[in-house]
Structure 1
Amino acid sequence: MGLQELAQDVAHGVETRLASVTESLFDPVIRLGVTGLARAGKTVFITSLVSNLMDRGRMPQLRAAAEGRIEAVWLQPQPDDTVARFDYEGHRAALTGDAPRWPDSTRAVSELRLSFRLRPSGLLGGLRGPKRLHLDIIDYPGEWLLDLTLLDKGYQDWAAQVLDRLARRPEGAAYLARVQAADAAARLDEAQAQGLAADYTACLSALRAAGLSDVTPGRFLMPGDLAGSPALTFAPLPRPDNPPRGSLWREMERRYDAYRTRVVRPFFRDHFARIDRQVVLVDALGAIHNGPAAVEDLRRTLADVLTAFRPGRNGVLAELVRGRRVERILFAATRADHLHHTQHPRLAAILAALLREAKDRADFAGAETAAMAIASLRATTEAEVPVAGGRMVQGVRGTLLSTGRQALMYAGELPADPARLLSPAREGAEGWLDADYAVMTLAPARMALVPGEGLPHIRLDRAAEFLLGDRLR
């Protein structure tokens, strides 16, 4: 990075911190980041959260709502005019129409502001008037979060790690064959570089389809207006001995560095570095369904995710000196409605075990973390399901997305001890030895909402209490 760029970043950072301190003193704001790994349900989470904060009849575990301290909640224009507005109204209409459907997922950063009018609490609460608090919800793709780990990783290290992982995955075979045929020390040929980038992008798509989470660089799968640019035209190659200037390897290194500098760093500076509460949505059930390799990949990815955060506690002086830090991080295992409620504690325990290493680091830094099993929108009802041998087990009933027909579903019996899943995953087992896990893709159910009630959910009120409860007092 040049001195001029560094000076601009420093000036921008000071300006941002001063604005943040002003907000904290005169018009408090919570900036809640929401992201999710592949197919975790980010858009539905935000839509349901906003719905249930505005109409709080289904939020008994949110203490400020249960105690009547929230007098009003309303949508306001977001403060950042350069970021797309999260389409809450359109997404809610998709979920609640006569033919309900899952809304389209967002593929870039979007934002929404909710404002609260709160009745003061405490002995002197009656002597003070209502106070106002803003909640800015920042929605961004999980793949972009994973890209933050590239900031501390050079091209040579990143490429070596990626190639090592691909060697153990069948989805990587075609790309590795292309790499073996390439001469990384030869002079750059642009057509060859574009072909390698295209093949690597196809490899990432196959990995994601197989249920794997680590698919960096994230913009390769959602390039937007960067499609075709040199910053997205690189791929991992093994380093040859003394690669010369102008060689394929050197150009790949240069473009990788440009991606970090021109794409990843601005996202960190302009959006991520200003977040002070964070939700990471995780499709743990999908990973279990896809097998031990997907579970181990998820464990590594979650550890990497937490290193991208700057956990700790915020204070006015601390914000001015070092910028905001993430105070609370919620990891939420979604699709809990695909399981009978008796299995929810086991799903939460599995997620907590996956997070153990990362959680210890965050707790040491002063952040609060939690793992929960939730359903942002409940799409099932509980029912008994017949299985082999004439037994009846506790499962759920829902509408199949593919056919629109009602179906009974039993995803399998999750183990009481998470090590039953994590140990074979770490050891590289090809499949589960004594269990079979399966999940179906369900459509949202038709619903008849009662005035004053938000969308039906599972534990969204507990999630909101963890993330926001201390600031709603």
Structure 2
Amino acid sequence: MASIITLADEARYAFDNLLEGVLGGPSTLRLGVTGLSRAGKTVFITALVHNLIHGGRLPLFDAYASGRLAGAKLQPQPDDAVPRFDYESHVRNLVDARIWPRSTRRISELRVTLEYESASTWKRTFGPGRLDLDIVDYPGEWLLDLALLNKSYGEWSAEAVAMSREPHRQQLAAEWHHRLQGVDPDAPADELKAQELAGAFTSYLRAARADEYALSMLPPGRFLMPGDLEGSPALTFSPLDIAPDREPVQDSLAAMMARRYESYRTHVVKPFFRNHFARLDRQIVLVDMLAALNAGPAALRDLEQALADVLACFRPGRASWLTSILSRRIDKILFAATKADHVHRSDHDNLGALLARLTEKAAKRAEFAGAEVSVMPMAAVRATREVTVTRGGRKLPAIAGVPLEGEEVAGEVYDGASEIALFPGDLPKDPESIFEAARQFQSKPRDLAEEAHDDTLALRYLRFRPPRVERSETGLKLSLPHIRLDQALQFLVGDRLQ
């Protein structure tokens, strides 16, 4: 990551951090929450805040379990230029409507103030402690964009075209490939041609992200969530089939594409890094392992590459009072395999082992730089309960819940209202066996749809509705149930409440 940041950038980041330290004080912790599409970012933040404010069951969150956490309350959003995370609306969706909130489409932020009593007798003499927890929510696809800062237009084009020709992507990119065939990069710049190619390229990215295929390597991220940039020249470009080191002819189509690519890096990617990413203290990366397993070996391979690129973007390091002022570093990174409630607890360790295998190499690099890294299976909102089912005279550990409307098993389509009991299958105890299956598929290219529905791994997971949240004796809604949310809180925040 160091190669994409100039000395001038570093000086500016240091000045920003110094100013923030003076104005915000040492009692502020900025927690970044990210994950690739549909990993559960919005649900995680909503559940975390709801449990803190409403006194949820958090036995592994030390400050809460020991009675030192006096309270938690929302505060006004500290950054006037950043949208506020719509916590109240998301709670209504989860608790009242029992629907999952919409996916993260933009950056947002929320401040929660934690008031606590220090565990240290010496610190308690100075009165109660206070920590402003600033939670920053941003799409994981934007994180993948940071890698573009280290690639020229030619390098990115060659890489994107080569990736689109891989067996599991070629079918999805067919229309874009067709339009690329007749393109002369040296032809005069043509706005209509640029729009045509950008539209076809975006359609390919959108198809690759669909649930059926669940591919993760989809930069540029803003092509799928353009916001107020939709239709702008900064989003109207496409890779061309050119050599990585080729210099575009002046005023040509390739020159126009390269210029717009540079505008995207300058006006979209770099401000995100400077204004948000470079200011984080802690980071949680949510990973939907089950969606990748559902979609097949191609999706799993793709997720592995995406996570490697995500991890390469972090600025890990050991935090100190000086580094926190001059150069913000992420000193704790948590990788969480979400939707742990979709498998029985007997499979949780196997789910965590799969994620640890995916992130192993990059996690070691972060630890070498001084950051503390942890991996855990988690469900920010638990949508199922555990039951036992009998099949062929055998009792099997299973889960029970209400599948989302339209979910299907063995030809039966569910209505979104009826509860079912389901044995989801067993994850292998050795994660390497799944990656070995993925490598075998890579050496035997097949039709993408055939691969996505192959039963070799025999793993299929349903999506469930949020649970029905019970009311207390006083009529108040209880906190949202979870799996290991308290353990995540302890890792990410616990040391700051000592």
- TM-score, length basis structure 2: 0.89
User: Is residue 345 from structure 1 mapped to residue 349 from structure 2 by the alignment?
Assistant: yes
Q: Matched residues in 2 for 1:11 and 1:311: separation?
A: 18
SS of residue paired to 2:401: strand
Q: Counterpart of 1:461?
A: 486
Consecutive unaligned residues of structure 1, counting only runs of 5 or more, are 1-5
1:400 equivalent to 2:425? Answer no
Deviation at 1:154, TM superposition (A): 1.2
Q: Distance in 2 between matches of 1:391 and 1:15?
A: 65
How far off its partner does 1:365 sit?
0.5
Q: Which moved more, 1:179-188 or 1:123-132?
A: 123-132
Question: Number of residue pairs matched?
Answer: 465
- The correspondence for 1:262, drawn from 259, 264, 267, is 267
Residue pair 1:35, 1:140 contacting (<8 A) in 2 also: yes
Tell whether the 8 Å contact from 1:331 to 1:372 is kept in structure 2 after alignment: yes
Measured in 1, the distance between the counterparts of 2:425 and 2:345 equals 13
Q: Which residue of 1 aligns with 2:13?
A: 13
User: In structure 1, how many angstroms separate the alpha carbons of the residues matched to 2:124 and 2:369?
Assistant: 37
Question: Match for 1:141 among 139, 143, 150?
Answer: 139
Does structure 1 conserve the Cα–Cα contact (< 8 Å) formed by 2:29 and 2:134?
yes
Q: 2:373 aligns with which of 369, 376, 386?
A: 369
What CA distance in whole angstroms lies between the structure 1 residues aligned with 2:177 and 2:389? 45
Aligned-partner residue type, residue 176 of structure 1: H
1:422 aligned onto 2:426: no
**Residue 271 (structure 1) aligned to one of 250, 254, 276:** 276
**Worse overlay, 10-19 or 330-339:** 10-19
State the 1:320 CA deviation.
3.9
2:118–2:497 CA contact under 8 A, matched in 1: no
Distance 1:230 1:440, change over 3 A: same
- Provide the TM-score with structure 1 as the length reference: 0.93
Identity %: 48
Looking at structure 2, the residues matched to 76 and 163 of structure 1 have their Cα atoms a distance apart, in angstroms, of 47
Separation in 1, partners of 2:181, 2:164: 13
| Conservation of the 8 A alpha-carbon contact between 1:449 and 1:455 | no
2:118 maps to what in 1?
Answer: 120
Name 1:193's counterpart in structure 2.
Answer: 194
Q: Find the counterpart in structure 2 of residue 154 from structure 1.
A: 152
Residue 295 of structure 1 aligns to a residue whose secondary structure is helix
CA displacement at 1:23 relative to structure 2: 5.6
CA distance in 2, matches of 1:421, 1:91: 35
Alpha-carbon distance in 1 for matches of 2:439, 2:310 = 18
* Cα gap change, 1:23 to 1:366, in 2 (>3 Å): farther
Helix, strand or coil for the counterpart of 1:400?
coil
Asked whether the equivalents of residues 153 and 261 of structure 2 are also in contact (C-alpha less than 8 Å), the reply is yes
User: Which of 461, 464, 471 in structure 2 is aligned with 1:439?
Assistant: 461
1:106 to 104, 107, 123: 104
Taking a change above 3 Å as real, the CA distance of residues 10 and 371 of structure 1, as seen in their structure-2 partners, is closer
SS of corresponding position for 2:121 = coil
Residue by residue, what CA displacement relative to the aligned partner does 1:35-67 show, whole Å, maximum 9, x if unpaired? Answer: 111111111100000011223341000011111
Superposed CA deviations along residues 183-221 of structure 1, whole A, max 9, x for unmatched, are 122112111110000000000001101200111000000
Closer, same or farther: CA 452–63 of 1 in aligned 2, 3 Å:
farther
Give CA-to-partner distance per residue, 1:414-444, whole Å, 9 cap, x none: 1000001112324416656743111112111
The one-letter code sitting in structure 2 at the alignment partner of 1:191 is: L
Is contact 1:57–1:452 with CA below 8 Å preserved after alignment?
no
TM-aligned CA distance change 1:96 to 1:369, over 3 Å? same
Structure 2, unaligned runs of 5 or more: 1-5, 406-414
The one-letter code sitting in structure 2 at the alignment partner of 1:357 is K
Report if aligned partners of 1:32, 1:277 keep a CA contact under 8 Å in 2: yes
TM-superposed deviation, 1:408: 2.5
| Cα root mean square deviation, aligned | 2.1
